[in-house]
Amino acid sequence: MTTALPLEDYQRYGRQMILDGVGLEGQLKLRQSSVVVVGAGGLGCPALQYLGAAGVGRIGIIDHDRVELSNLQRQILHNEETLGKYKAESAATALKRLNSGLEVNVMVSALTSDNALSILEPYDIVLDCTDNVPTRYLLSDACVTLKKPLISGAAQKLEGQLCVFNLGPESPCYRCLYPQPPPQESVGSCAELGILGVVTGTIGNLQALEAIKIILGKEDQSSSLLLFSAFATPPFRSVKLRRRKPTCPACSNPDGCLGSTDYIQFCGGVRPDWIIQGRIPGVDLHEIITSAQIPPRILDVRPTVEFGICHLPGSENIPLKELLKHPEKYMNSATELYVICRLGNDSQIAAEALRHTGGGELTVRDVIGGLRAWSNTVDPGFPIY
C-alpha cells in the first residue's frame, strides 16, 4: 500500500491527525510548510519545540547570541552542555533529537536591512521571538514587503503579549500599532527587569499555535492583541485592533520602507554603554570601604526584593522609584554618597537626581557596572543573578 506520509509518521502524529480540522490533509500541509523563527531564546525555544513536534517540514532559526547560564531558567532547548554555543545551533540540535526528520536551517549572523528579504523570503511564516525594538520594526517592514504573516510575541517580568501582523490585506503591521518607537529609557531587557520563565513559555507556545492555525487555514482574519498577565485573574484579555492605517509608511507604500530606514537610529541610536559612562569603579569603592575610618554611605537603589537576594554590607536600600519622588530626603551630613544598583543603569539616574537637589558639599558617585561588576572585579563570591 502506498501512503501519503512515511509510515512512522502515522503513529508519531496520530493524536493530532484524528482531530477535526487536522486530519491527513492538515498533516500534509504541516509537512509541506516552512516557518522561520527569529530568536532562539525564551520565546523562540518553546515555539520551535512545538513547531518541530507538530511536524512542520522546514524550520529556520536565526540567532547570533550564545547560550549563557542565565538563559537556562526559561530557554528550554538549551542546557548546561551547550553553554557558550550559538543558540541557533543549540536549538537545532535539540529539535533534531526530538524529530530527526525535520529540515532545520541555522543562521548565526545578525538579521539586517541588507539581508532580511533574502533570508526570510523562502519561508511561509515568520515568528518574531526577539527582545529588541529595532529588529521588531525590521521584521515587520520585511514581512510587509514580502507579504508574509508575522507572529509577534513579547514577554517581560510577569506579562506577555501576542499579535499576528500582516495576515491579510486589512491586517495591520507593527508600524500601524506603533508608528514611533518608545523612548530608549523606557525599554528594559529581561536582565534589567526580570522575567518569569513560564511567561515566555506561554507566549512562545501561543506563537507556535498561531503558526499552525495559519498553516491549517484556521486563523481568524480579524486582528487582535492578546495580553497575558501571569498573576492576574483571569490571566488573558484580548484587545481588538483596527485595520491597517492608510498613512502607515510601510503598508501604504508599494515598495515598503525597508531600504530607506536605519533601524538603530530610528529607535534612538545605539544604547548607551552604561559601564563606560559610570563614575567610580567597584575596586575604588572597595578600597574606600576598607581604608575609611568611618564607613561610607552606600545607597542601593534596586527594588526591595532584589536587595533581599544579596547586598553589600552596610548599604542602605532606597528603591529608585522611591528615591526619585523626593531625592532631597536622602541627603544628609555625609560629604560623600555612593549609589549602586545591579547593572549600573539605575544608579546613574539616582545619582543625577541627588545632584540636582543642590546638596552643597555632598559628592555623589555611582558605581560603574553595579553589583555585577563588583562580583567580576572585587568579590567573585558575590552572587550574580
Rounded to two decimals, what is the model's pTM?
0.78
Scan for cell 500601524, then name that residue: 176
45 is in an annotated binding site: no
128 is in an annotated binding site: no
Helix, strand or coil for residue 160? strand
State pLDDT tens for residues 343-352. Answer: 998 999 999 8
Q: Which amino acids are annotated catalytic?
A: 190, 341
Phi/psi at 77 (nearest 5 deg)? -85, -15
Q: What is the phi-psi region of residue 194: left when phi exceeds 0, alpha when psi lies from -120 to 50, beta otherwise?
A: left
What whole-number distance in Å separates Cα of residue 145 and Cα of residue 166?
Answer: 10
267 is in an annotated binding site: no
72 is in an annotated binding site: yes
Q: Note the pLDDT of residue 277.
A: 44
What whole-number distance in Å separates Cα of residue 352 and Cα of residue 346?
Answer: 10
Q: How confident is the model at residue 307 (pLDDT cuts 50, 70, 90)?
A: very high
Q: How confident is the model at residue 334 (pLDDT cuts 50, 70, 90)?
A: low
Mean pLDDT in residue range 41-67: 97
173 is in an annotated binding site: yes
Q: At what angle do helices 44-54 and 197-216 cross, to 10 degrees?
A: 40
268 is in an annotated binding site: no
Mean pLDDT in residue range 115-121: 96
Q: Note the pLDDT of residue 274.
A: 43
Q: CB within 8 A of 317, min separation 6: which ones?
A: 300, 302, 304, 307, 311
Q: Are strands 159-165 and 150-156 parallel, antiparallel or unpaired?
A: antiparallel
Do 230 and 198 form a contact (C-beta atoms < 8 A)? yes
Full set of structural domains in the chain with CATH = 33-267 (3.40.50.720), 279-378 (3.40.250.10)
What whole-number distance in Å separates Cα of residue 149 and Cα of residue 348?
Answer: 41
The dihedral sign for the CA sequence 239, 244, 247, 248:
positive
251 is in an annotated binding site: yes
What whole-number distance in Å separates Cα of residue 27 and Cα of residue 239?
Answer: 31
Residue 257 pLDDT > 80, yes or no?
no
Q: Could you give the percent of the chain with pLDDT greater than 90?
A: 71
Residue 211 pLDDT > 60, yes or no?
yes
Q: Note the pLDDT of residue 185.
A: 59
143 is in an annotated binding site: no
Mean pLDDT in residue range 291-309: 93
**H helices of 277-317, where?**
282-291, 304-309
226 is in an annotated binding site: no
Residue 278 pLDDT > 70, yes or no?
no
Averaged confidence pLDDT in the chain: 90
End-to-end, the C-alpha distance of the chain in Å comes to 58
